[in-house]
């Protein structure tokens, strides 16, 4: 009996542990540390229609109990992913479900890339990142406005039959309301939280450290906020939740599951400890054994 086996959007995951987009490359970069098939699923680096070089200047800055980044969605584009990278992933022996994170600067770009991934065999689940700036709306993130979040979800849903996760931004007033809106517009699941907006200043140069001035804060510092938001969303919606934000141990993962998450996503913690997913998996299994649980999902949402 596999006490960690988790059914998510019609797929059987060996365990509820996945990676956060942008923190695990394309699933091949960590093969020297552990077999990616040890994971429940792999969320690949965010993709756009065209190749992107990302932001200029310093892209990463360490902060107390966390990290700031303004990488800027650097990626090779959907063509290279389809024709080269996905084949490398499959040829490497990775069999865990592949979740592809898609991004766009306009509604039209979201629709176009959704049409592309719909046709690509080997992509099991799609994660829609609505934290991207909407260039037609003055740079405001798609996910910051409930109506726009609902619109992009609805339009992508029209062209996509594959399971759809919508990734939510925490930089909003009421994340539970936005989660409800995307659920009503066709999302099969939601993932949260994306990074919190922050910045850092070099007091010697008297200038912002990051080339983009502001960036996304991740790591243990955001965990209490992320946990609170997962709890609030779990009380509001009926679709599954992928919980993330500062998970650095099995104990952290257990908190997110108890708050209502079906899957837990590891990101910044892997930079600190490349074998973190294995440690979390072992810890979850030990918890099941010690508490006579038939399955880890028996405690999901137990505090709701």
By annotation, the residues acting in catalysis are: 132
> What sign for the dihedral angle of Cα 170, 172, 173, 178?
negative
Neighbour-count burial for 12-43, b at 16+ CB within 10 Å, e otherwise? ebbbbbbbbbbbbebbbebeeeeebeebbbbb
Name 198's Cβ contacts closer than 8 Å, sequence gap at least 6: 63, 68, 214, 215, 216, 217
CA-based end-to-end distance of the chain: 27
């Amino acid at each position: 009996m596999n006490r960690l086996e988790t059914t998510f959007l019609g797929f059987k995951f060996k365990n509820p542990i996945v990676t956060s987009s942008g923190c695990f490359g394309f699933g091949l970069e960590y093969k020297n540390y552990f077999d990616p098939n040890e994971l429940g699923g792999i969320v690949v680096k965010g993709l756009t229609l065209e190749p992107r070089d990302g932001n200029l200047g310093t892209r990463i800055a360490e902060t107390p109990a966390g990290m700031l980044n303004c990488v800027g969605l650097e990626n090779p584009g959907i063509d290279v992913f389809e024709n080269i990278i996905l084949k490398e992933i499959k040829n490497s022996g990775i069999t865990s479900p592949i979740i592809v994170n898609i991004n766009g600067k306009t509604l039209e770009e979201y629709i176009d890339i959704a049409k592309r991934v719909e046709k690509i065999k080997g992509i099991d689940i799609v994660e829609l990142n609505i934290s991207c700036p909407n260039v037609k709306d003055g740079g405001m993130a798609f996910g910051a406005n409930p109506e726009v979040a609902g619109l992009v979800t609805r339009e992508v849903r029209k062209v996509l039959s594959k399971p759809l996760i919508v990734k939510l931004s925490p930089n909003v007033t009421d994340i539970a309301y936005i989660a409800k809106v995307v659920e009503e517009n066709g999302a099969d699941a939601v993932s949260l939280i994306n990074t919190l907006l922050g910045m850092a200043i070099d007091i010697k140069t008297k200038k912002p450290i990051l080339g983009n001035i502001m960036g996304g804060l991740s790591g243990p510092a955001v965990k209490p906020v992320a946990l609170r938001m997962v709890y609030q969303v779990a009380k509001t919606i009926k679709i599954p939740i992928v919980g993330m934000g500062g998970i650095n141990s099995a104990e952290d993962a257990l908190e997110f599951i108890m708050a209502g998450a079906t899957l837990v996503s590891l990101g910044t913690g892997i930079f600190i400890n490349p074998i973190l997913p294995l440690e979390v998996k072992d810890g979850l299994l030990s918890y099941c054994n010690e508490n006579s649980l038939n399955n880890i999902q028996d405690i999901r949402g137990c505090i709701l």
